[in-house]
Each structure stands twice: as C-alpha cells, then as structure tokens.
Chains A and B, each alone.
Chain A
C-alpha cells in the first residue's frame, strides 16, 4: 500500500540557517512525488514535483528536493531559511489512479 512518512512533526531553525525536511514513501512503482507548503488558514501551495529524470529538482521560493530511490526518500532542502518560510510542509505521493497520499506534515518555526 502507498504511504508517506514525515518523521519530524516540528522543526525549529534560525533565520539564515539551512533546512532539510525528511520524507519517506512506500510505493510499488515509480513514484510521483510532491512537496506542498501551507500557511495558517490557507490551502496548500505546490513547491515542487518529481516524476523522473534528474533526481535533484528545483522548486519555487528557493526550495529543492532530492529523490533517492535506494532510501525511498524525497527530502526537501533550502540553503538559507527566511522568516516567511515558517509554515506547515507536506510531502505527497501520487498514484496512477489519481489519488494522492499525504504525509502528516512538518511544522517549521523560524527564529530570528
């Protein structure tokens, strides 16, 4: 069965520090992988997506993610975090049947 695990419920980083949010997936075939960001009281915004090809994908707002098949991971990274990056981040895997499976999210706090 498809599933997504985000091991970190909450992460706190200092502004300007680097960030890595972890995502592990379980999927039988080649996965379609996504990262979304959600600000309080808002919907989800797509940060980036991976289907195939280059395993390092670039997204909006300076985010990138690396697909590692051997580790079943798709971790999100940013070299230097800004205060405006504080939000909830969701990893998701898309199935051929059009359903998405979301992780439970990682809440990011940025301290000055």
Chain B
C-alpha cells in the first residue's frame, strides 16, 4: 500500500544534540511538508518542498533544517539551536496544486532528556 512512513515514532534528544527525523513516501508525490504540532496550536509549517533539491521555509523554520535529495525522502533535522523542540512532528505529501489534499504520516514525538 502507498503511504508515508515516519521514523522513529519516539525520539529523545540530549542538550546540544542534533537529531534527524525520517520521512519517506511512495505515493509519487512531488510536494512534501513538515509540521510541528503543539497542544492547542494546531499544525505549524516548518519547511516544504515542491521539487527535488528545492525547499522553502515555513512559519517556524528557525532551528530546523531539511534536505530533498530524492523525491521519496524529506528528512528533518532538529538542531541544537531549537531551544524548545519537544513536540509532535508530522510529515505530509501531496501532488502539486492547492486543491490536492495532503496525506500524513503517523508522526514522531520528540522529547528532551
């Protein structure tokens, strides 16, 4: 079945450490997205990419980095510059075009040790 796979499901970060969240899709979608979800704040866009080797900052990109070397993969790195990284992170993908629905993975919960 086609879908989006996020790993790991749970991740713990030590102070000063960078961690990378994986997102892989086999839906043949061109666009991919990373969102951060905090209680009561809905989904906030971190980064998005509409084509390989290109990506744009979303509303809360500071302290995060991404790469898009393959169509299927869009990993997110939470750097040590992100001082409040504890959250639920969701990856999504879609065909290009505003009317195309986004499809979501099951998320990664990141916590601080």
> Which A residues have a C-beta under 8 Å from some C-beta of B?
9, 32, 34, 36, 41-46, 49, 51, 90, 94-100, 102-105
Contact = CB atoms under 8 A, between A and B. Distances in A.
Contacts of A43: 4, 6, 90, 104-107
Q: A-side binding surface: helix, strand, loop or mixed?
A: loop
User: How many of chain B's residues touch chain A, expressed as a range?
Assistant: 20 to 34
Given A44-B104, A98-B31, A32 B98 contact: yes
Interface of B: 4, 6, 31, 33, 40-43, 45, 48, 50, 58, 90, 92, 94, 96-107, 109
Contacts of B100: 94, 98
A5 B33 CA distance: 22
Q: What are the 6 A-B residue pairs with the smallest beta carbon separation, nearest first?
A: A43-B104, A104-B42, A94-B98, A44-B104, A102-B43, A32-B99
Contacts of A45: 104
Nearest to A103: B42
A95 B58 CA distance: 14
Contact of B40 (A9, A34, A94, A96): A9
